[in-house]
Structure 1
């Protein structure tokens, strides 16, 4: 009898170790039950996940889970918590997992990892496992409507494989769609070699539209340099204007397994002006330009008049340095 009670108490102690994981899982499940946009849902989960995540990692570091939690399970949980709490969770998850990530997939895998940990720790006291919920239920799909945007369609029609576009890149391109009046051509580049080490090369693999009639530096020099190297290194979408020809372009990185494998350059024409609310949405989606512009203007002027966004060139708002754009908000003499 004494041995039985001791075993039961020991099982309860092991079961108590699952509490931080249960709490973390409840954060996800309660948020999902309320439903809504996946990106906003992920932001809310991140703000509430920190406390149980810290309790788990602290206990893990002190050896409390030794012999009770499989090492592979612990690694998986730590990785998923780290990615979810990163400043850019979806991008962090994509880089660590090698998957084409989305908020839904991230939350599904996080819930699965937490459930696996809870199951291992509660098995001694309760053999009935908690079934992980599919967290996408009740969530508006994060990529819903993205593929309907003309700019995204142009990218895919140029030959870019969907799996080479990270969720972050896809969303930025979709957010830029409202600013673009026409796509006039494209150039697709293949990148090989060590980008960080400076030995990477670039080659044109396909062209379309007006791009067929243009000469390219890449035809003469295959070394990856300049803005294309920046795009390949940062794996970020870049809106730019040619120094010599004044043409406006959008450079989109293509990646596989965390490595940049190519760049698709879209030749575009921007609308001259947009309504202030539409322009704000575009700037919020690209390079945090809205927040940066507001910060710069309010630093000197004290307030920011959003209506003036409708008075400034769309291309300039997307391309010129923020410091130059802030001059439009200075009082006229």
Structure 2
């Protein structure tokens, strides 16, 4: 704009400055007075002869030492560093307008009465701002749920309210960690309406002709299934048919109207962050409960298989699944990454034991940091909390918490068989969940391991079951097995007990069919999570097991034995177990075991 041979520019860059700026006045606006870009541009202008006035809050800051005049905004302690300072923005608008009125008086472009009227309006700003703050509950209601449902946001305003829209966008991005677009209402070219975005419309303070057009634009936004929040003057009702919420503010003229829009947007942004953070608190509460329960099980030396079968832990996971789905059905978690939104429900199913562990190892092979779905669930919940937690107190939390590294976690299993597997370079991931539980029980019955034979299985069917072409060969022998001859000293077709074990996926423990030697045979998974090896262990079973220990080792099989005994109208007595060695109890069928018990009691079965 040019008037009386004076040119006014709203921006200044340190690039392409004229060599002679003796007739230039630079007004630098800064909260801290230490911003490098601002101070460098001012210094370059100063070197070329320009005069400088600084509108600044922080006293004795760098810019105050180079400015010819300083207009202190005095808007409180300058502790909002490296962020968009809300209080500074409001005071800078007022300070800039007061300075403009003073310049107008100097040049005689406004009468004293007109300037006095403008100053009177400025003096009403605190009262009107307090009225906006008093309506914060309605602003909270507007923001709380809608922000959880919409992934894409935009802020729009026209004329002077484009400044308000830009400032709201900055604060929303800062508080909510969102990439948010800002545009002129009637332009809309930077808004992807096909994404059905959340759009905040700064509509307070407009004259009637402009307002009519804005109502039409809001109707267009709504027609594209957008969620609309409108900031409008008190008494304005034309947006009611199109907006999800209308936030009314006291009527005001420029520049206070800009503050009315901006202040409302800033408060809305605070509650928006609170709403998103509420999703984070949801995950935080669940994670705490699960972590406490898992920690309790860890102190009891429970294995992964014990944890997944723990009733209380399963109940926690099931309750979390229900609550998660209820919130998701309402459209919440829009700020959660697609990956986590998909992973968490699946990990819950694995943690509840509803899906087999071997599927978890395969499905999450490329990204898991642990062999335990419980650990992966904990890590995923932690990431969800990081994604959804917001710096509600922007003074104390000016930077997002970042996870700088995560170590790979592994499930540690101990015991005579688990330790032996580890020595053969096998791990938890080479066992199915059912095998892991069985091994944990079985190893209590083993006194020591005398030898082993490791077999390699090849040419299984596509579904992992043995077929006509499936072969078996010996990979290695150890201990007493080195002196033993096997039917498969040379590679041959898979048959017999080992074929049954691969087909059923179950471990055999008991006596060998031919030599009646105590053995344990277990299938071991390969990289593609189908059986690739079979391990035969030559063991010595303990002969000092109590009836209680035998019951624990037998697991569900004990219930079947007990039920069959009861069918013979005998009351169960643990002494029935004491007369049979553990290898018989493990290796024989329930009918055979109960028959032996009947003989022990002198009864024909």
Which TM-score band applies after superposition, normalised by the shorter structure? 0.7 to 0.9
Aligned to 1:114: 381
Q: CA deviation at 1:117?
A: 1.5
Task: List runs of 5+ in structure 2 lacking aligned partners.
Answer: 1-262
Cα distance, 1:178 vs. partner? 4.1
Residues 302/278 of structure 1: CA separation in 2 closer, same or farther (3 Å cut): same
The alpha-carbon deviation at position 41 of structure 1 amounts to 5.6
Find the counterpart in structure 1 of residue 519 from structure 2. Answer: 249
CA distance in 1, matches of 2:388, 2:425: 45
Aligned equivalent of 1:187? 453
Note the residue ranges of structure 1 that are not aligned, 5 or more in a row.
135-140
Q: Distance in 1 between matches of 2:361 and 2:373?
A: 9
* 1:296 counterpart = 2:558: no
Give the match's secondary structure for 2:531: strand
Contact 2:421 2:427 in 1 (8 A): no
Equivalent in the alignment of 2:533: 262
Which residue does 1:137 correspond to in 2? none
Which residue matches 1:138?
Answer: none
Cα distance in 2, alignment partners of residues 245 and 49 from structure 1:
47
Deviations 1:284-318 (A, max 9, x none): 3xxx3223323433455474312321111221100
TM-score by length of 2: 0.45
Structure 1 residue 56: deviation in Å? 1.1
Trace 1:254-333 onto structure 2 (pairs within 5 A).
254-257=524-527, 258-271=529-542, 274-284=545-555, 288-301=556-569, 303-330=571-598, 332-333=602-603
* RMSD over aligned Cα atoms: 3.7
Structure number with the bigger relative contact order (C-alpha 8 A, sep ≥ 6) is 1
Contact 1:273/1:310 (CA < 8 Å) preserved in 2? Answer: no
For residue 279 of structure 1, report the CA deviation from its aligned partner. Answer: 1.9
Structure 1 residue 48 displacement after superposition: 1.8
* 8 Å contact from structure 1 (residues 237, 251) kept in 2: yes
**Contact 2:520 / 2:536 at 8 angstroms: preserved in 1?**
yes
| Aligned-partner Cα distance in 2 for 1:66–1:164 | 33
TM-superposition CA deviations, 1:245-300 (whole Å, max 9, x none): 3333211222233232211111234345632133223223xxx3223323433455
Which of the residues 46, 49, 55 maps onto 2:317?
49
How many residue pairs end up in the alignment?
316
Deviations 1:34-55 (CA, angstroms, capped at 9, x unpaired): 5632446652322222112122
Structure 2 CA distance for aligned equivalents of residues 2 and 227 of structure 1: 75
Q: Distance in 2 between matches of 1:179 and 1:100?
A: 33
1:220-251 CA-partner distances (Å, limit 9, x unpaired) = 66233333233334444221433333333211
| C-alpha contact 1:186 1:208 (8 A) present in aligned 2 | yes
Asked whether the 8 Å contact 1:84–1:93 carries over to 2, the reply is no
Q: CA deviation at 1:207?
A: 1.9
Q: What's the TM-score, normalizing by structure 1?
A: 0.76
Partner of 2:465: 196
SS at match of 2:493: coil
Provide the rounded CA distance (Å) in 1 between the counterparts of 2:334 and 2:326: 16
Aligned-partner Cα distance in 2 for 1:219–1:172: 29
Shift in Å at residue 120 of structure 1? 1.9
Residues in 1 aligned to 2:419 and 2:279: alpha-carbon distance in whole angstroms: 49
Contact 1:81 1:110 in 2 (8 A): yes
Matched, 1:166 2:427: no
State which drifts further: 165-174 or 110-119: 165-174
Cα displacement (A) at 1:156 = 5.2
Please name the residue that 1:237 is paired with. Answer: 507
Structure 2 contact 411–428 (Cα < 8 Å) conserved:
no
Aligned 8 A contact 1:232 1:262 in 2: no
Larger % of helix: which? 1
8 Å contact from structure 1 (residues 187, 208) kept in 2: yes
| Correspondence for 2:494 | 224
Separation of aligned partners in 2, 1:210 and 1:289: 30
State the 1:113 CA deviation: 0.6
Distance 1:182 1:48, change over 3 A: closer
Superposed CA deviations along residues 5-51 of structure 1, whole A, max 9, x for unmatched, are: 33344434333334542332122133256563244665232222211
